[in-house]
Amino acid sequence: MDWIRKYQWLAGIAISTVLVLIWLPTLANQLGLEQNLFFAVHGICAQSHNLIMGDVQFPLCARDSGIYLGLMTTLVVIASRGRWRAGRLPPLPVSLTLVGLIVLMGIDGLNSTVAELGFQAVYPPRNDMRLLTGLGFGVAMAVGLLLVANHTLLAPDLIDTEQAPITGWRDLGLVIGAVSVVALAIAADQEILAWPLVLISVIGVTGVMSFAIALPISAVAGLSGRIRHPRELLLPGSAGFLVALFLLALLARWKIELEVQGLLPPPLVP
């Protein structure tokens, strides 16, 4: 009977997922999410090479979308492997591979910048390359941020110093496989798949901003190296989130004013 309950649980998740996917486009259209999210992150992204899936334009550019989708996907895989308290760098070959993913995005970004400045690029800049190199960078970023968070916030005895977020090639293969599913979903170019990815990317960028702001708040509050339960992060996390929202609104307003004055090109509003 245990296997029946197990499959009922999995079937419930599958049915709920399908219903959410079907319902999200309608809700997004009713709320005007496409334009609202575009302007919500308007001040922190150039938004000149945005992805379009079906008829949905992502609020972040292709590279930034890749970064935060890669980040969020990698964190989910790490969490599913029970590595939230990992405190050790991955093995040297894996660490060098992660550094290589960062370098690849840097090379692609430099190539795109050269082309945009009117010089001869090594290869024509393309959104698929921006997306893929961004996804790779997001994988490395997730590992780095998790280690920083653990060593900065957790009580020392809670950090698993013998465990790395990604312990070897098998773990890295699982992460790359999960990230590849995201890339294939985008390549499918279906509106029904677009909205979950749009929301995940926006949650990712907002989460990183909130985390960066919450760290100094935690230090001032004397919480650094003393966190033993997630509830202890409620105050600095909430403060970081609210400050992040304020900065997003402030930067968006400032950028719009520059666009209205003609000092920046007009936005590619969806």
Contacts of 2 (CB under 8 A, 6+ apart): none
Question: Which tokens is 215 given?
Answer: 């760290």
Listed residue (163, 174, 169) closest to 75, CA to CA:
174
Question: Which tokens is 165 given?
Answer: 């977020």
Phi/psi of residue 123, nearest 5 degrees: -150, 155
pLDDT of residue 41: 96
Q: Which residues pair with 86 in a beta bridge?
A: 160
pLDDT of residue 3: 52
Tens-of-pLDDT digits for all 270 residues of the chain? 555 565 666 676 677 777 777 787 887 888 899 999 999 999 999 898 999 998 899 999 999 999 999 999 999 999 999 999 999 999 999 999 999 999 999 999 999 999 999 999 999 999 999 999 999 999 999 999 999 999 999 999 999 999 999 999 999 999 999 999 999 999 999 988 999 999 999 999 999 999 999 999 999 999 999 999 989 999 999 999 999 999 999 999 999 999 999 988 888 888
pLDDT of residue 82: 92
Q: Which residues pair with 53 in a beta bridge?
A: 56
Contacts of 70 (CB under 8 A, 6+ apart): 134, 135, 136, 137, 138, 139, 141, 142, 179, 182
Q: Per residue in 174-196, pLDDT tens? A: 999 999 999 999 999 998 899 99
Tally the C-alpha atoms within 13 A of residue 208's C-alpha that lie toward its C-beta. 21
Number of H helices, E strands in the chain: 8, 2
pLDDT of residue 4: 58
Q: How far apart are CA 254 and CA 249, in angstroms?
A: 9
pLDDT of residue 7: 63
Q: How far apart are CA 219 and CA 197, in angstroms?
A: 33
Q: How far apart are CA 227 and CA 214, in angstroms?
A: 13
Residue 160: DSSP 8-state = B
Q: How far apart are CA 22 and CA 255, in angstroms?
A: 34
Task: Compute the Cα dihedral for 119, 120, 126, 132 and give only its sign.
Answer: negative
Tally the C-alpha atoms within 13 A of residue 49's C-alpha that lie toward its C-beta. 17
Phi/psi of residue 243, nearest 5 degrees: -65, -40
Listed residue (129, 111, 130) closest to 119, CA to CA:
111
Q: How far apart are CA 56 and CA 201, in angstroms?
A: 14
pLDDT of residue 25: 81
Q: Per residue in 111-150, pLDDT tens? A: 999 999 999 999 999 999 999 999 999 999 999 999 999 9
pLDDT of residue 227: 94
